Structure 1
Amino acid sequence: MKIPGASHYWLKNAHVPSTLIQLADGETLGESELLNPIEPLLLLDIEIRDGVIHSLQQSATVPDEIPSVDLQRGMVWPCFVDLHTHLDKGHTWGRSPNLAGTFDSALALVSSDREKHWDAEDVYRRMEFGLKCSYAHGTRALRTHIDSANGQAKISLEVFKALKAEWQGRLELQAVSLVPLDYFMGAEGEVLANQIAEAGGCLGGLPLMNEDLERQIDRVFELAGDRQLNLDFHTDESGNPADITLRHIAAATLRHEFTGQVVCGHCCSLSVQPAEEVQKTIDLVKQARIGIVSLPMCNLYLQDRNQQTSQHFLYAPLEQQLAFNSKFPSRTPRWRGVTLLHELKHSGVPTAVASDNCRDPFHAFGDHDVLEVFTQSAKIAHFNAAYGDWCTAVTTTPADLMGFPTIGRIGTGLPADLILFRGRYFSELLSRSQHDRVVLRQGKAIDTALPDYAELDDLLVK
């Protein structure tokens, strides 16, 4: 479809998910326009003027002199928000493939790759490549975790700040530190907190179950509170039901009366815990106003690789399982690795899904395409027919958790940052790649050509 070059035009006959519409004061669209509860789409005409959504109407009469495009009921979404990524690790698979596919092997490979290659040029080019992909696919805002231990923060955060300035106006970028929480117990932890504050980022880290956990968490909250930083943690990325760092983070949020936004990612172990333990954690998470982001594609790839974890998911005794598994050269995973998305969302916890790792030892695949994230999440996490309720998980909800009230929604007076799909219904949208989507930024169609992998070839043999 060809988008007019004029500053004033209409998009006619657009299917818009009702949950993504933000109405202005006094504005109504009426319940009668909702097509049906399974496909919660409104048939609307969208007026765009000077890069802004000027009005949303039904069956608008458009003067002949004003250009219009008939979308023939193709779906229109706001641009995506990718709440949890790892741009600094991205696109290292070609030189550091994780053939074992386990979490431990991924840690070792990333550590080795970082020591050998992660100078400013290497990090810049791979991060920039990821941003090019994200932008072309229709992402408007993105948060990336940054490996920050052993002096890497100085290199990678300088790269991040340069890219943030270069992409200003196209992508809103946020950085989060990533270190084990015990890192914050020493002087280097305070230095890192200052570096994150200077970069305008979020303080974050990896809590692990240990006897000193509460003291480590308290220290992070103190550092964040002193600098007025939001917090973002990797929590319980395992199949071990004894991992309950999410509960400890929620309790600390309440204990410190923390007023900033806390986001916790992964939370995989929640799905293998007894119901009464799950309820304790969810109640605390809701009370603490914590946002949860699940990473279904990466966790599907990484989790349940270890035969020992199967004891949590099958009824047979572990000895019998191991004896059975030993007969075969490889093993089919029994567990999808995702957290309890439905239970969290139905409990009123802000719940999002995001890309996580792309083409690195933690996840061999991915292209920074949030539509792929949503599509795969719908299948992995059984979104079933409630697609319209879940599409906020890659738009409005992560935008709110990142502090962007005008991003990730469609409404009068908001920027015309939109994605136009040929798919007319969710069944069509989720069945084909939608590679021919049109991405509008301030009402103008952008170049959606993806960067060529060959751009990074020389980094593979560096």
Structure 2
Amino acid sequence: MEHPLPHRVSRLCGATLPDGAVVDIDIGRRDGHAVVTAIRPGFPSGELADTAIDLRGFVVLTAPAEPHAHLDKALSWDVLNPPFGDLGAAVESWRGGSAGLTEESFHRRATAAAAALLRNGTTAIRTHADILGGPDPLRGIRAIDRVRRELAGLLDIEIVALTPPTAEAALLDAALEAGADLVGGAPHLAPDPAAEVERLLTIAEAHGIGADLHVDEFLDGDHHTLAHFAERVRDWPSTRTRTAGHCCRLGTMDAAELAELLPAVARSGLGIVSLPITNLYLQGWDRPVATPRGLTALSALLAAGVPVAAGADNVRDPFNPVGRSDALETASLLITAGHLPPAQAVHLVTDGARAVLGLPAAGVRVGARAELLAVRGTGLLDIVANAPADRIVIRDGAIVSISRTDHRTAIFAELEFS
């Protein structure tokens, strides 16, 4: 039976968990939210109730959260036709090309990018949006705020005002009025990185809000700012967001320097966000032999007890020409390039990402929010390896997206059509 979407459900039957257990999952309402109320061994048979969903042959995960998107830049590669190149080339290409992009262009591309994330299972997004140059610097932020309002009930979207060093405080104030929730920026690109960290965090404090900064997105150099960021926010209220994205320089620090820095990061309450697909593309262009990779020190951060998440970052824009807007793509890269075990890689794009974003706990646990992703497959490694398109996305206990595929292959023609 076909149901209109969103379609609220009360039970998921025969679902496979990442540990291989097959269960039925009951969903109810508590304090205005859908939560998991019971989990029991499940092997459905016979007719199911109208609000029950047969998930035999599907693996069920906590719905992914995207901790670091750029919805304003997304899908602009074909529009801008930028050169291939490193971070500096991408920044220059975007600065020049974005001047010709209208608010409607930002809205159209951001809507398409958000819809792709939702189809693939993501139910919460934190996106950076540039304070642009020119006479209308807030048009990207306004466009994404409009997308947020249009997709309310399907996706949660949080906006970070990505602030250039040249932007005056009054312009950042206006960005927050236009819909931004957090202060952002890239201090390592400023003439005085430490002063830029101080400036941005002071503005955040004045507004009583958090900060999500691009931090140390380079492989070599002593102008890294993570230590300053950590020290500066150590005494912030525990509920105030403090997030550091990229942190590529950690991946090239020697062991002694890293060991000295990580305890301070852990004490600060900072969440670290790794962006494998973009930083694998952007970093290392200057070393064609034994090219270093642009990932942060994932294993060391996790061992130190630092909250870590991972995201897709840029999707088909000057900073990354590819990308599927799929958390399973990010998880796969964490395994192959980051050397994380599959369960840990998936954690960084699901429960770990939700924790860094400050979202309520979700997933297949009694009392957790019913934010779930069901992917057709035999087990956790199977769905990460194959990233099947057959998916059912559940937000707040309701199905908000269903994707199905149909395979017809010549070798099986007699079986399929006889």
Q: What TM-score bracket applies, with the shorter chain setting the length?
A: 0.7 to 0.9
Structure 1 partner of 2:363:
409
2:383 to 418, 425, 429: 429
Greater displacement, 209-218 / 396-405? 209-218
Structure 1 partner of 2:240:
260
Structure 1 partner of 2:325:
368
Structure 1 partner of 2:409:
none
2:295 to 334, 338, 361: 338
- What is the CA-CA distance between 1:148 and the residue it aligns to? 0.6
Structure 1 partner of 2:121:
138
In the aligned structure 2, how far is the partner of 1:202 from the partner of 1:144?
10
What 5-or-longer segments of structure 1 have no aligned partner?
18-39, 308-330, 451-462
Within a 5 Å distance, the mapping from 1:13-32 to structure 2 comes to 13-17=14-18
Structure 2 partner of 1:353:
310
Instruction: Kindly indicate whether residue 239 of structure 2 is the aligned counterpart of residue 238 of structure 1.
Output: no
Structure 2 partner of 1:397:
352
Structure 2 partner of 1:278:
258
Structure 2 partner of 1:94:
78
1:288 to 268, 272, 280: 268
Structure 1 partner of 2:158:
174
Distance 1:194 1:428, change over 3 A: same
Q: For 2:128, what is the secondary structure of its paired residue?
A: strand
Structure 2 partner of 1:224:
204
- What is the CA-CA distance between 1:189 and the residue it aligns to? 2.1
- Normalised to the residue count of structure 1, the TM-score between the two structures is 0.78
Counterpart amino acid of 1:85? A
- What is the CA-CA distance between 1:262 and the residue it aligns to? 0.7
Structure whose residues are more often strand by fraction: 2
Within a 5 Å distance, the mapping from 1:147-158 to structure 2 comes to 147-150=130-133, 153-158=137-142
Instruction: Report if aligned partners of 1:89, 1:360 keep a CA contact under 8 Å in 2.
Output: yes
Instruction: Report if aligned partners of 1:123, 1:156 keep a CA contact under 8 Å in 2.
Output: yes
Distance 1:258 1:222, change over 3 A: farther
Q: For 1:94, what is the secondary structure of its paired residue?
A: helix
Greater displacement, 343-352 / 247-256? 247-256
What is the alpha-carbon root mean square deviation over aligned residues? 2.9
Structure 1 partner of 2:13:
12
In the aligned structure 2, how far is the partner of 1:419 from the partner of 1:138?
6
What 5-or-longer segments of structure 2 have no aligned partner?
405-418
Offset from partner CA, 1:104-134 (integer Å, 9 cap, x none):
2111111111112x21111111111111111
Instruction: Report if aligned partners of 1:241, 1:273 keep a CA contact under 8 Å in 2.
Output: no
Q: Percent identity?
A: 27
Offset from partner CA, 1:238-268 (integer Å, 9 cap, x none):
1114242111211222377786221001111
- What is the CA-CA distance between 1:95 and the residue it aligns to? 2.9
Structure 1 partner of 2:22:
43
Aligned residues: 397
- Normalised to the residue count of structure 2, the TM-score between the two structures is 0.85
Distance 1:53 1:101, change over 3 A: same
In the aligned structure 2, how far is the partner of 1:153 from the partner of 1:431?
41
Instruction: Report if aligned partners of 1:139, 1:370 keep a CA contact under 8 Å in 2.
Output: yes
